[in-house]
Amino acid sequence: MSGDSSGLDGAEPGRSQKKGIYYGWYVIAALFFATFVAIGARQGFGVFVKTWEQDWGVTTATISVAAATGWIVNGISQPFVGRLTDIYGGRRVVVLSLLVMSIATMGISLVTNIYGLIALFGFVISFASGGISPATTGVIVARWFEKKRGVAMAVLISGGSVGGMIVVPFLSYVLIEFGWQTAWLMIGGLALAFGVPLLIIVVRSNPGDMGLEIDGEVSDKSPDARIVVRPVGPKFVEKWRDSLNSKPIWQLSIAYFVCGITTASIAVHFVRWAVSEDITTGTAALAFGVLSGINACGVLAIGLLSDRWQRKNLLGAVYLVRAVAFISLFVLPGPIAIWAFAVIGGMSWLATVPLTASLTADVYGVRNLGTLFGFANMAHQLGGAAAVMLFGWAFTAWGSYDVPFAVGAATLIAAGFVSFSIREKQHSVRYVQVPEGGAVDITEPVSDES
């Protein structure tokens, strides 16, 4: 939370008010676009698998090496960029990350073999994209919002859903009409021309940079303002390592590991599975777009509910709904399964992200949120890397994804119950606060209504 004072600009000392549209929403709009481009491009990877197999004479398993390398590298980058965000602020991290990612994405158009793809996508793009992940963007949002944190996180993450809805079908269209090189050149150019300038102009790391307080209170430096200690959660930590001695961070990370298994496998193998079921690449990309469109609405609904209900119950439900979606892939015939998965999976796809990020902030505070959520994201990406490789090997060996999809469904059911087991009412600042005179999070002026 910001340590700046808050009060009323030009009014009696000790009061505060909100003026116009809170600047935090502009910050979210800029981060929304960056997330739209970054996640959309990464989710579009699967569109090109069959084409690269044909152009370079390689197997699905070989292409999976490049994708899995990317998920591993991206996972390793998460605690690193998260820590940089905690120390230096999110603005510098997201700007530099999107700049590098944009240039490298354009460079994919020059790649001529699997080794170039591993080097550029697997290492450069994937490491840089760690800086456009919730480990950084989510931290910025958490520092701008508290009362509406669930909604704010949901709006941010819906950028990834909209990216999947628009970018994946768009990349499929460009691939078919103009070739895969043009597709990567265009998406990288879009990020460089619009995304990077938008971040530079709009984004600020925290409301104190604008003379504001969290949730939009105007700062008042008046010496007459009364000072109060704001209660903190029972597990708020000064040092991030202290959180590792408590259960919630491990429960969240284990469930998020499973989230990575299921989202990464679909991002890379969904189109390839569809082609194996005699469904065209264009239809598969359209189905993924439908999934993402439904998810954009689902994420916003989850955000609204999460500010009213226990987040851990919503998180558990999301994992169980996604399990049903995976079951549909190996139970139903392909032409029916693809749309059943789009609809059912769309209800849950990226909804885990705002819930996991918000829960981490609720339990441990925002001081070290970048580092802590970075570790959770690392678990997510490592799970994704393992799944991408194993799914690729399974398909190459057996010519079917049925067994991997069944394993994915089983892990999702387990993740659902792990999430339900989190004792949110014992650990979250929303339900339990250290009384005045206990641990101190922030001092600030209080309005007369307090």
pLDDT, tens only, 283-301: 988 898 898 889 888 888 8
Q: Where are the alpha helices (DSSP H) in 191-246?
A: 196-202
| 3-class state of residue 400 by DSSP | coil
Mean pLDDT of the chain: 84
Say what the pLDDT of residue 120 is: 94
Structure letter (DSSP) for residue 136: T
In a 10 Å sphere around its CB, with 0-12 CB exposed, 13-18 middle and 19+ buried, how is residue 283 labelled? middle
Say what the pLDDT of residue 444 is: 34
Please, what sign has the CA dihedral across residues 316, 318, 323, 324?
positive
Q: Is the pLDDT of residue 134 over 50?
A: yes
For residue 218, what pLDDT band results from cuts at 50, 70 and 90?
low
| pLDDT per position as a tens digit, 151-174 | 888 888 888 878 878 888 899 899
Q: Is the pLDDT of residue 443 over 90?
A: no
For residue 64, what pLDDT band results from cuts at 50, 70 and 90?
confident
Q: Where are the domains of the chain?
A: 23-445
Say what the pLDDT of residue 226 is: 43
For residue 372, what pLDDT band results from cuts at 50, 70 and 90?
confident
User: What is the value of pTM for the model shown?
Assistant: 0.73
Say what the pLDDT of residue 325 is: 96
The CATH number that domain 23-445 falls under is 1.20.1250.20
Q: Which residues of 61-81 are buried (b: 16+ CB within 10 A; e: fewer)?
A: bbbbbbbbbbbbbbbbbbbbb
Say what the pLDDT of residue 417 is: 96
